[in-house]
Structure 1
Amino acid sequence: MQGQVNERRHDAGRRGLQRLGLAAVDGPSMVPTLRPGDQLVVQYGVEVRPGDVAVLRHPFQQDLLIVKRVVARRDGGWWVLGDNRFVENDSREFGAVPDELVVARALLRLRPPRGLQPSVRSVPAAVSWAASAVRPLAWRFRAR
């Protein structure tokens, strides 16, 4: 399914710190922001707001986790869209997502190196990858 994620939870520490986890992106619904194979550092137990990238339970298949951009608050929950306008596996298909189906907010994107073999990595290629591999996902919402 488009925008599917696999998650691994990790407690960030003691003394009330929010729980952090990793989610692997699978599917093209968030291209160009996220690509299949990207990892997300996610934070559980926090509220989402418009512009956030969130991990959610699919309203029609709640054992499936999806990743979408939170757009607006609507009757019944959050209106969420994929960044790839050509993939409609989002609120255009299933409507608003209730609060109880919001699992986590994505904080960072970690992009694995593609096409770089450890034995042939050049310094410029490694620097270029490092500069683009880690990106924060906290942007202000841009109207579509």
Structure 2
Amino acid sequence: MPATRLRWPLSAVLVTGPSMAPTLRHGDAVLVRRGGRATRPGDVVIAVFRTRPDLLVVKRAVRPVDGGWWLSGDNGLVTDDSRSYGVADVQGRVVARYWPRPGRVPPRPL
């Protein structure tokens, strides 16, 4: 998805691509909270890779690195995460999926 900075404390974001399956699927709409508690390993986040500032991504936070985060997709077959693009800057945390299957998007221990 093209990078657009989150402007509101709670924003809607549409997921595109298969990298977060099965947790999130292409076409899912999620609510993202900017601010609030600090990012923790296992959180699903919205971020921008430092090497791809034009691309806003939905990934899972793995560990803090160099003032940013190492991110991973839940779908191990897709490598468009920190393995390819390096460190990312987190813009917000995914707190819920509201379409088409409403529900929380809980953190997963890594």
TM-score, normalised to structure 1, is 0.66
| Kept in 1: contact 2:3–2:48 (CA 8 A) | no
Does 2:89 correspond to 1:89? no
**How large is the Cα RMSD of the aligned pairs?**
2.2
Q: Name the CA distance, whole Å, in 2 between partners of 1:56 and 1:9.
A: 10
Hey, what's the Cα distance between the residues in 2 that align with 1:109 and 1:6?
A: 20
Larger proportion of strand: 2
Q: Which has the larger radius of gyration?
A: 1
The answer to whether residue 107 in structure 2 is matched with residue 134 in structure 1 is no
Which structure has more RCO (C-alpha within 8 Å, separation ≥ 6)? 2
Question: Following superposition, which runs of at least 4 residues in structure 1 exceed 3 angstroms of deviation?
Answer: 4-11
Q: Percent identity?
A: 41
Which position in structure 2 is the counterpart of 1:105?
Answer: 93
Query: For residues 8 and 40 of structure 1, do their structure 2 counterparts lie closer, same or farther at Cα, with a shift above 3 Å needed?
Result: farther
Q: What corresponds to 2:41 in structure 1?
A: 50
Count of paired positions: 109
Q: Deviations over 1:87-124 (max 9, x none)?
A: 00001112222xxx211100001232xxxxxxxxxxxx
Unaligned runs of 5+ in 1: 12-18, 113-132
| Match of residue 28 from structure 2 | 38
Normalising to structure 2: TM-score of the pair? 0.85
